[in-house]
A and B are shown apart, each in its own frame.
Chain A
Amino acid sequence: DAKTTQPNSMESNEEEPVHLPCNHSTISGTDYIHWYRQLPSQGPEYVIHGLTSNVNNRMASLAIAEDRKSSTLILHRATLRDAAVYYCILRLSGTYKYIFGTGTRLKVLA
């Protein structure tokens, strides 16, 4: 079964880059990798997604390993508002299903 593995928690200093890792060794060739984050008392919100190539958007960058068995979400300059639980998710090909990882709780220190 598809599965993702993430560290339980990470800390970062404000204004510094953060690299959030995710392992997904059981990924299939056409499963997309999505990242969402969940702020306190809110539903998850979309951050970024990718299939094979590295991706950048205004929120973050996504670096995907060549074998696709792992990926890293990069926040270039962490702010206090980035403190949240970050979920690495596999969107199973041909389905509506998201397979959520256990999430990494990011703490940003002022």
Chain B
Amino acid sequence: DTEVTQTPKHLVMGMTNKKSLKCEQHMGHRAMYWYKQKAKKPPELMFVYSYEKLSINESVPSRFSPECPNSSLLNLHLHALQPEDSALYLCASSQVSRQALNIQYFGAGTRLSVL
């Protein structure tokens, strides 16, 4: 099973709402990632978790709050977002071993619209 599952597939929220994106994998991967992808642009890295600890934060605004409650789950909590935050949010996972090539497996994404 090489599947990364993201829910919901689509989300519409107002600027005062609080919502969460969820990502799940059962490949035993201990590194998990959040990316943001604007239309016709490549994905941009937001956060990396390694062994359930935050390893990389690419200077993401605090209105995005990641959480890794266990090795299979990754959440992204959203609060007070702006319309420019509308994008496709992608989750990925990979092995952590230095010998492994950290091939990342991506989910299909959550398409977020902020009104």
Task: Select the residue from A32, A91, A96, A98 with max chain B CB neighbours within 10 A.
Answer: A96
Contacts of A87 in B (CB 8 A): 42
Interface string of B83-99 (1 = CB under 8 A from A): 00000001010100000
Q: How far is the CB of B96 from chain A (nearest CB, A)?
A: 8
10 extra A-B contacts, CB within 8 A, seeds A44-B106, A49-B101: A44-B104, A46-B104, A46-B105, A49-B103, A95-B56, A96-B48, A96-B55, A96-B56, A100-B43, A103-B42
Q: How far is the CB of A60 from chain B (nearest CB, A)?
A: 15
Q: How far is the CB of B52 from chain A (nearest CB, A)?
A: 14
A residues sitting closer than 8 Å to B (CB atoms) are 32, 34, 41-46, 49, 87, 91, 95-98, 100-103
User: In chain B, what residue has the closest Cβ to A41?
Assistant: B108
Contacts of A45 in B (CB 8 A): 106
Is B109 interfacial (CB-CB < 8 Å)?
A: yes
